[in-house]
Amino acid sequence: MAVYLGLDLSTQSLTAVAIEVSDRERRVAFEESLDFDGTLPQYGTRHGVLPQKEPLVATSSPLMWAEALDRMMQTIARDSSIALADIQAISGSGQQHGSVYLGAAGAAALASLDAARPLEEQLRGKFVRPESPIWMDSSTSAECAEITAALGGPEALARLTGSRAFERFTGPQIRKFYKELPAAYRSTARIHLVSSYAASLLAGRDAPIDPGDGSGMNLMDLAERRWAGEALAATAPDLASRLPAIAPSWTVVGPLATYWRARHGFPAAKVVAWSGDNPCSLVGTGIVSEGRIAISLGTSDTLFGIVPQACFDPSGTGHVFGSPTGGYMPLICCKNGSLAREAVRDQFHLDWSEFSDVLGGAPAGNGGAIMLPWFDAEITPTVLEPGVRRYGLDPHDAAANVRAVVEAQMLSLANHSEWMGVTVSRIHATGGASQNPAILQVMADVFGADVCVVGGGNSAALGAALRAYHADERSRGREMPWPDVVAGFTEPWPASTVHPIPAHVAVYREMRKVYAACEAHALGKGPDPQPVVVAFMRGAGKVAGP
């Protein structure tokens, strides 16, 4: 039976999913996760991120990612649930926007990996930047402003690349590096994304960047799916020569490098271009045709859909990425996802089951109490000075705070995704917190739509495995429609559907305005929201029951 492997190099862990596909059967045959903090403590990460003095800076270790990959490949090779020799193709998913800087020796090391020595030993010292900036970084406001000015303003940049300049996007990150350490920039032979770096390690050669991840850089012409010369010029000199090519998401980069075959016993499977975690989740949640959205509740909470034409968010909050299925994916990303939920859970010494009980026990609308859950700097909306803001919310009331953090996350996702113009009838939920029905009930009530769980918690790794399958078929001259590729893997879990409660939908319709007023006030863009809160309390807020 043909086996396809998907790997997800995310913020906190590396996950592998292997699927088996035959004419008669399709199933997930293997699933395994390796958590960076716990498995590789020598790197000193916390939640996958290296400690920093500067609060807006966020980095991780490209060497740790390589070591994690080596460990995971060994685990897969030793596991008896899949026949290694049946692996046809491997693809992957990487946390988006993060970048890896290799010197000439690093680029050469990739091409001559020695199976007798661990990967990490061969790459040590080969990075021009031993720490990679990652998507949680928000330290490049100055560079964002410079790039925006050079490209003719935020709207012009968004029209060209799919997004206005964002601090975490790779272009502003590269510009900051070039400005601060010009000599180090000059000695950089290759700048990879996390995705193309990992694909290069597997293929033992320079892998391309796919349009799904390339559109998270402020450097790619979204409609043409090629580097945008004017954006490159506004970012750093001679950048084109330092970037890999952009190639379709289904590109076969080459066979698995000898290193993996000789060291762990893998076959010469095809290495397929990797993509970003959100583009892979799009496939892994089955959002391969229009009219549905997915919400991924992971380290970041993201909401995305699929559209046929390139477009952009006129409000400047959202992004449009290339979809690995060929179209385009509008997306919004909230940085305060699982870590914000965890912060509230820990503050009140709850476990997840108690968190759910408390959440389900407080009334929809929370009596008008609002939290702006900016535990960390936020992306949607832009908040560079972290700090939780509370409106009418007692900071010591466990039930009210648990309810407030989840309601805030859902209200924010709903308000900030309006520009996508999608009439939501069904939401596919994924990510760790999608296993929590109480959270899904708030989601269903805020969006007024059915919510169902798809793809387990590992939709990005599953999406990568499905992309490997699609690319393998394509390389054999069989162009499979995407609904056929994902069939049997992305159907909602039986009995997982959560229906909206009409009375709660009515409460949240009004509460969205309250949340928007509090958010505008907290950002210094609106008046005191008290009158809006009072009006809400007299009306919808008063009638809500648990």
Half-sphere exposure of 41 (CA within 13 A, CB side): 1
Closest to ligand XUL by CB, 133 vs 244, is 133
Beta bridge partners of 427: 293, 451
Residue 54's alpha-carbon distances to 58, 184, 359, 373, in angstroms, are: 9, 21, 34, 21
CB of 204: closest distance to ligand XUL in angstroms?
A: 26
CB of 302: closest distance to ligand XUL in angstroms?
A: 5
Q: Is residue 448 exposed (0-12), middle (13-18) or buried (19+ Cβ within 10 Å)? A: middle
CB of 432: closest distance to ligand XUL in angstroms?
A: 12
Closest to ligand XUL by CB, 65 vs 259, is 65
| From candidates 9, 82, 97, 406, binder to ligand XUL by CB under 6 A | 97
Q: What track of x and - describes contact with ligand XUL for positions 258 through 277 (by CB under 6 A)?
A: ------------------xx
Q: What track of x and - describes contact with ligand XUL for positions 20 through 59 (by CB under 6 A)?
A: ----------------------------------------
Residues 161-190 that bind ligand XUL (CB under 6 A): 168
Q: CA torsion angle for 421, 534, 372, 442 (degrees, to 10)?
A: -60
Residues 303, 429: Cα–Cα separation, whole Å: 9
Which of 208, 191, 198 is closest to 72 using CA atoms?
198
Closest to ligand XUL by CB, 76 vs 282, is 282
Segment contacting ligand XUL (CB under 6 A): 201-209, 298-306, 410-418, 518-526? 298-306
Q: What track of x and - describes contact with ligand XUL for positions 224 through 263 (by CB under 6 A)?
A: ----------------------------------------
Helix or strand run (H / E) with residue 275:
strand 275-276
Residue nearest to ligand XUL (CB): 96
| Amino acid (1-letter code) at residue 182 | P
Q: What track of x and - describes contact with ligand XUL for positions 67 through 96 (by CB under 6 A)?
A: ----------------------------xx
CB of 299: closest distance to ligand XUL in angstroms?
A: 6
Closest to ligand XUL by CB, 221 vs 277, is 277
Return the structure tokens found at 512: 């969205």
* CA triple 39-40-43, angle to 5 deg: 155
Count of positions on this chain that bind ligand XUL (CB under 6 A): 14
| From candidates 333, 364, 371, 485, binder to ligand XUL by CB under 6 A | 333
Q: 175: which residues sit within 8 A by CB, 6+ positions away?
A: 140, 143, 146, 147, 234, 235, 236
- Provide the H-helix boundaries in 26-153: 36-39, 62-78, 104-111, 119-123, 141-150
Closest to ligand XUL by CB, 132 vs 302, is 302
Closest to ligand XUL by CB, 188 vs 299, is 299
For residue 215, state whether it binds ligand XUL (rule: CB under 6 A): no
Residues 58, 44: Cα–Cα separation, whole Å: 13
CB of 321: closest distance to ligand XUL in angstroms?
A: 8
| From candidates 302, 356, 380, 490, binder to ligand XUL by CB under 6 A | 302
Closest to ligand XUL by CB, 278 vs 401, is 278
Q: Which residue has the tokens 């740790």?
A: 64
Residues 120-139 that bind ligand XUL (CB under 6 A): 135
Residues 97, 74: Cα–Cα separation, whole Å: 27
Closest to ligand XUL by CB, 168 vs 428, is 168
Q: What is the DSSP string of 180-206?
A: H-HHHHHT--EEEEHHHHHHHHHHTS-
Closest to ligand XUL by CB, 277 vs 473, is 277
Closest to ligand XUL by CB, 157 vs 370, is 157
Q: What is the DSSP string of 450-474?
A: EEEE-STT-HHHHHHHHHHHHHHHH
Segment contacting ligand XUL (CB under 6 A): 225-233, 240-248, 299-307, 398-406? 299-307
Contact 474, 250 (CB under 8 A): yes
Contact 297, 432 (CB under 8 A): yes
Beta bridge partners of 333: 302
Contact 393, 367 (CB under 8 A): no
CB of 472: closest distance to ligand XUL in angstroms?
A: 25
Contact 134, 98 (CB under 8 A): yes
Residues 286, 462: Cα–Cα separation, whole Å: 10
CB of 301: closest distance to ligand XUL in angstroms?
A: 8
For residue 380, state whether it binds ligand XUL (rule: CB under 6 A): no
| From candidates 4, 6, 11, 127, binder to ligand XUL by CB under 6 A | 11
CB of 16: closest distance to ligand XUL in angstroms?
A: 17
* CA triple 461-467-473, angle to 5 deg: 145
Closest to ligand XUL by CB, 218 vs 299, is 299
| From candidates 300, 317, 441, 459, binder to ligand XUL by CB under 6 A | 300
| From candidates 278, 323, 380, 417, binder to ligand XUL by CB under 6 A | 278
**420 DSSP assignment:** G
Binding site for ligand XUL (CB under 6 A): 11, 95-97, 135, 168, 216, 276-278, 299-300, 302, 333
